[in-house]
Amino acid sequence: MIHRLEVTLQDAEGAMLRVLGTAERRGFRVRALHAVVGADALCRMELTLEGSRDAELLGRQLARLHEVRTATVRVAP
Amino acid sequence: MADTGAIEAGLRSGAQWLVAALEAEDVDTIFGYPGGAIMPVYDALVDSRLRHILVRHEQAAALAADGYARASGRIGVCLATSGPGATNLLTGIANAYLDSVPLLAITGQVASGLMGTDAFQEVDIFGMSLPVVKHSFIVRRAEDVAAVVHEACAIARSGRPGPVLIDLPKDVAQSRAPARPVQHDAIPAPVKPAAAALAAAGMLLARSARPLLYIGGGVGIARAEMALRDFVSCTGMPSVCTLKALGAVNAASPYNLGMLGMHGSPAANHAVQSCDLLIVVGARFDDRATGKLDTFAPGARVIHIDVDAAEIGKLRSVDIGLAGALPWILAELAQPLQIEPWRVHCAALHDLYRSRYDAPGTDIYAPALLRDLSLAAGERAIVSCDVGQHQMWVAQHWQIEAIHAHLTSGGLGAMGYGVPAALGAQLAQPQACVICVTGDGSIMMNIQELATLRRYAIPVKIVLLDNACLGMVRQWQELFFAERYSEVDLSDNPDFVALARAFGLEAFGIERREQVPDAIRRLLETPGPVLCHVRIDPRANVWPLVPPGKSNGEMMDTAA
């Protein structure tokens, strides 16, 4: 199953690695990734993930990372 | 070296800011081992009031800090150099991660310009530790050091606690700078669950005929024992505990059915299988607790209470999830219940499956020894376990009066935990009677820490249950691998009594049942560190047992 997640996070050393590592360790494969750091020092990541586990649960697991401000699961196109 | 003029000018080295920040965080004890990249910090320690405990292996530094944190409720701090020093910490960091222990791990790193060049003693400990930390930092500027320490401590302690790593490059530790003003990022307070969810949970509870509390280690982490006991007192609900929650409720109550799961009590497992409502408090449906998950509590609706919203619904779908501070939620949910038939049923289960200690023979029966020792040690006792059969015997038979009086590597199951955790706990609670229960396999994983006990005269009492094999693995090979024993024989163990004496500890051995009472007396009356070597039957197994992959309703209670 394909899931789309939008994650907003503080632009800190290792922050993107933490998000990607969490997604992979929790049972999802990263199929596509787009990330931009804005002038507001926030990084906006859009991830397309493949996995059979609950993406809403992954969203909560991402949200508890210290740098993550929001983690939203979108319906896959 | 301290430069008085620079300090008066408000300039300190990164290492000095680190030490000052730890002092400001009210840290009094750190566990560590020096080496090249961390030497500036060790130099700063010379002028510090921090008590540094020199362990003999960095893994023990992390595990001792873990034991210190669990026994005191304060943050534990460990320190190591780069490269092998840092990698040796990892097992202890992972242990703290899986058991949600507030731990600060500080590692030296090669100088910034050498990072990424495969320099001597360089490893990417920041990257290596990512899966097992709550958070981590590489400090890039000396002026940031103090602020990072304060933020790291706040993160480690807040919400669901966990380990935080600070990697400190040597040039950052050595360069001088004024401190950046400390800006505490607001750590968000735990959310409160919606009033509607609380009301629905209250209704579910009021309508339940067979409600059961499933209590986890989160209760101890949240220091919510009083709130939990008030809840139990108000509702009259029977309860079961995970390994890490033992001691949460009155050990003598007939409605406390003990530990659930693989080596749990039959009373606990039967009650879980027949309840109609499970209130899960600070627990996470670990596989060792649930057995085959889709047969766990098959007739129960579930209310799950946890400070970590990501635990709710992770493994078992819930009827109502309540994320937030445990004491507040428990107080909101408490109500008197009309469940007397269920209470009578649970008390009967408790009585039916009471442990017996009248094993035949003259060999030392470890469960009885542990039971007698816990009763003799009394309320001052803190027991620190290693991992294996003896760990389960402690869980089953030790009279545990409070969660923080039982230190055990629950999530990681790290052999080698017992001795370092015990020394950390004893330093945190000098008045306590700290007893380490270990096995002949486990103790050899951190045997070098006997030297630390001796050096600081830390009066830990060690009970070494020696079955001359890796008992838990042997038991599984006997039961589930057709008695094909593979690499479990330890019959060539060293002479542990002589070994302990070589480290400067008092030590003695026993091998017959009638020697147990005197041994217990001697252990408890010896003022300093002491080791009691106990020879037990290599064929002894831990019963009952839920076979792996089976339902908790399918307990075995003998090999037959």
pTM equals 0.96
Residue intervals of chain B classified under CATH 3.40.50.970 are 4-177, 366-535
Task: Please name the residue that has the structure tokens 């505490």.
Answer: B184
Q: Tell me, what's the pLDDT at B179?
A: 78
* CB-nearest partner of B308 from A17, A64, A65: A64
Q: Tell me, what's the pLDDT at B474?
A: 97
- CATH superfamily, domain B195-352, is TPP-binding domain (3.40.50.1220)
Cβ-Cβ pairs closer than 8 A, A with B, add up to: 34
Q: Tell me, what's the pLDDT at A77?
A: 58
pLDDT band at B191 (very low <50, low <70, confident <90, very high): confident
Q: Which residues of B touch A (CB under 8 A)?
A: 126-127, 130-131, 134-138, 140, 155, 159-160, 308-310, 312-314
CATH code assigned to A2-74: 3.30.70.260
Q: Do B309 and A60 touch (CB under 8 A)?
A: yes
Q: Which of B130, B133, B155 to mutate to probe the A interface, most A CBs <10 Å?
A: B130
Residue A75 has pLDDT above 80, yes or no: no
How is residue B186 written in tokens?
């607001």
Mean residue pLDDT of chain B comes to 96
Q: Do B130 and A61 touch (CB under 8 A)?
A: no
Q: Tell me, what's the pLDDT at B7?
A: 67
Q: Tell me, what's the pLDDT at B2?
A: 60
B94: number of CA atoms within 13 Å, CB side?
A: 17
Contact between B109 and B168 (Cβ < 8 Å): yes
Q: Tell me, what's the pLDDT at B217?
A: 97
Instruction: Considering only the C-alpha atoms of chain B, give the largest distance between any 2 of them, rounded to a whole number of Å.
Output: 77
CA proximity to B450, closest of B34, B31, B29, B57: B57
Contact between B176 and B11 (Cβ < 8 Å): yes
Strands B163-169 and B103-109: parallel
Rounded CA-CA distance B144/B162 in Å is 22
Contact between B331 and B202 (Cβ < 8 Å): no
Rounded CA-CA distance B495/B497 in Å is 6
The percent of residues above 90 in pLDDT, for chain B, comes to: 93
Contact between B95 and B217 (Cβ < 8 Å): no
Q: Tell me, what's the pLDDT at A2?
A: 95
Rounded CA-CA distance B96/B65 in Å is 9
Residue B185 has pLDDT above 70, yes or no: no
Q: What is the pLDDT of residues B96-113, one digit of tens each?
A: 999 999 999 999 999 999
Q: Could you count the other beta carbons within 10 Å of the beta carbon of residue A71? A: 23
CA angle at B493 for the pair B491 and B497, rounded to the nearest 5°: 130
Helices in B252-334 by DSSP H: which ranges? 266-274, 287-290, 326-333
Q: What is the pLDDT of residues B451-463, one digit of tens each?
A: 999 999 999 999 9
Range B356-380 average pLDDT:
95
Rounded CA-CA distance B386/B439 in Å is 7
Rounded CA-CA distance B259/A3 in Å is 39
Residues of B whose CB is below 8 A from A64: 159-160, 308-310
CA proximity to B107, closest of B95, B116, B51, B127: B127
pLDDT band at A60 (very low <50, low <70, confident <90, very high): very high
Q: In this predicted complex, what is the ipTM?
A: 0.96
Q: In what helix (H) or strand (E) does residue B370 lie, and over which residues does it extend? A: helix B366-377
Range B115-141 average pLDDT:
98
Rounded CA-CA distance B92/B451 in Å is 19
To the nearest whole Å, the CA of A25 is away from the closest chain B CA by 8
Q: Residue B135's closest chain A neighbor by CA?
A: A66
Q: What is the pLDDT of residues A13-57, one digit of tens each?
A: 999 999 999 999 999 999 999 999 999 999 999 999 999 999 999
Residue type, B430: P
Residue B1 has pLDDT above 70, yes or no: no
Instruction: Estimate the share of chain B in helix, then strand, then coil, as percent rounded to the nearest 5.
Output: 45, 20, 40
Q: Tell me, what's the pLDDT at B557?
A: 86
The percent of residues above 70 in pLDDT, for chain B, comes to: 97
Q: Which residues are within 8 A (CB) of B88 and not within 5 positions of it... i.e. 6 or more apart?
A: B57, B58, B59, B80
Q: Give the residue extent of every domain in chain A.
A: 2-74
Q: Tell me, what's the pLDDT at B446?
A: 98
Q: What is the pLDDT of residues B417-448, one digit of tens each?
A: 999 999 999 999 999 999 999 999 999 999 99
Name the region of A27 (left: φ>0; alpha: ψ -120 to 50; beta: rest). left
Range B402-426 average pLDDT:
98
* CA distance to A13, A19, B195, B261, B488, per residue, from A24 (Å): 19, 9, 35, 29, 35
Q: Tell me, what's the pLDDT at B5?
A: 67
* CB-nearest partner of A57 from B134, B140, B314: B314
pLDDT band at B10 (very low <50, low <70, confident <90, very high): confident
Class of domain B366-535: alpha beta
* CA distance to A17, A33, B493, per residue, from A45 (Å): 11, 7, 55
How is residue A63 written in tokens?
């949200």
Q: Tell me, what's the pLDDT at A57?
A: 96
Q: Tell me, what's the pLDDT at B6?
A: 67
Q: Tell me, what's the pLDDT at A76?
A: 63
First to last CA, chain A: 11
Residue B521 has pLDDT above 70, yes or no: yes
CATH code assigned to B4-177: 3.40.50.970
Q: Tell me, what's the pLDDT at B3?
A: 65
Q: Residue A22's closest chain B neighbor by CA?
A: B131
* CB-nearest partner of A14 from B126, B134, B140: B126
How is residue B195 written in tokens?
């009033």
Q: What secondary structure letter does DSSP report for B106?
A: E
Query: CB-based contact (8 Å) between A18 and chain B?
Result: yes
To the nearest whole Å, the CA of B132 is away from the closest chain A CA by 11
How is residue B192 written in tokens?
């409160």
Rounded CA-CA distance B227/B402 in Å is 14
Q: In what helix (H) or strand (E) does residue B78 lie, and over which residues does it extend? A: strand B76-80
Q: Tell me, what's the pLDDT at B359?
A: 87
Q: Do A63 and B127 touch (CB under 8 A)?
A: no
Q: Which residues are within 8 A (CB) of B484 and not within 5 positions of it... i.e. 6 or more apart?
A: B477
Q: Tell me, what's the pLDDT at B184?
A: 64
